[in-house]
Amino acid sequence: MASAAQHHLSPAASPRWKQLIESAISKFKDQVVIQMSTLDTSPTSPPNTSSPSPATTTPTKPPPQVRVRSLIIRSFLTLPTHPSTPLLLSSTDIRTPKVSQITTTPQIELAWWIDGTKQQFRITGRAVVVPSPTQTQAYRQFQLVSLPQKEKSGKGRGPGGGEASRFGVASVQVGEGGGKAEEGFDWEKKRVEVFKSMSSHMKATWCRPTPGTPLSAHGGPDAAKKWPVKIEEPTESSSEEDKRNWETALNNFALLVIEPSYVDFVDLGVVPNRRFEFVEVGEGKWEETELVA
């Protein structure tokens, strides 16, 4: 059992788990691929084989299915209003299945293995999607339903997560003009900034047909060879097609913001191995406990 001496309350502006990640990726800059799980509450494809319904009975709704995929963490984002809760910033395509999974069930968990330092960070929290303000009302209402806008105390948060996002992200989705969030952070400006920072090759991925749909529905592999491979910011003299492609890509591009509430850190780079958990306990404090590795 952990003694009181093993607990540390960290009021630091930058939590120790963040410092550990920053230290690791400062040495291994390309080790920013994580795997993030979400819950799919209306699985259709691939079929959920864990609970087959006999053909003779009425089909029952399949149980929720866990999904997982790789993502790139692009940066930390620390809002001046919440200095002790760093957000993780990734990006995605608004049309991908993870978006509806997150908007329905924002609780996520991710695993970040940094091979260079032999360290694993397992982060539990909530994810929020910040789409283009031009996206349809359906997306915007999705966000409104799933993410109440008002800040609550973080007390008692832990691996279970389960509270509203506290960063005014939801108001971006639903606010008139899609501009500034309640607490003054301009999420649309950030979204455009991150989009522009992507390579021209990456930008082109957001103006392809909907990811995950059958290629045959879009002309097959031969048609795919003609899709744009690079997109540059248009100038006045750019062609109408180039301008259209830029707009399409920017409209499909979405920020994926992860708000951690619990971090399980395992250090296999030291002997004996060490393991710590960090629980956000509210008022900007993280409680740290060393665990058996």
Given the rule CB under 6 A, which residues bind ligand FMN? 33, 67, 69-72, 90-93, 96-98, 211-212
Question: Which is nearer to ligand FMN, 84 or 96 (by Cβ)?
Answer: 96
Question: Which is nearer to ligand FMN, 250 or 279 (by Cβ)?
Answer: 250
Question: Which is nearer to ligand FMN, 90 or 117 (by Cβ)?
Answer: 90
The nearest distance, CB 142 to ligand FMN, in angstroms, is 15
The nearest distance, CB 33 to ligand FMN, in angstroms, is 5
The nearest distance, CB 96 to ligand FMN, in angstroms, is 3
The nearest distance, CB 211 to ligand FMN, in angstroms, is 6
C-alpha distances in angstroms, 106 versus 99, 170, 269?
10, 12, 32
Cβ count near 80 (within 10 Å): 8
The per-residue DSSP string of 179-217 comes to ---TTS--HHHHHHHHHHHS-HHHHHGGGSSPTTS-GGG
Q: Are 167 and 181 in contact (CB under 8 A)?
A: yes
Q: Residue 92 CA to chain centroid, in angstroms?
A: 8
The nearest distance, CB 92 to ligand FMN, in angstroms, is 3
Cβ count near 242 (within 10 Å): 16
Q: Are 185 and 229 in contact (CB under 8 A)?
A: no
Question: Which is nearer to ligand FMN, 131 or 154 (by Cβ)?
Answer: 131
Question: Which is nearer to ligand FMN, 20 or 102 (by Cβ)?
Answer: 102
Cβ count near 215 (within 10 Å): 11
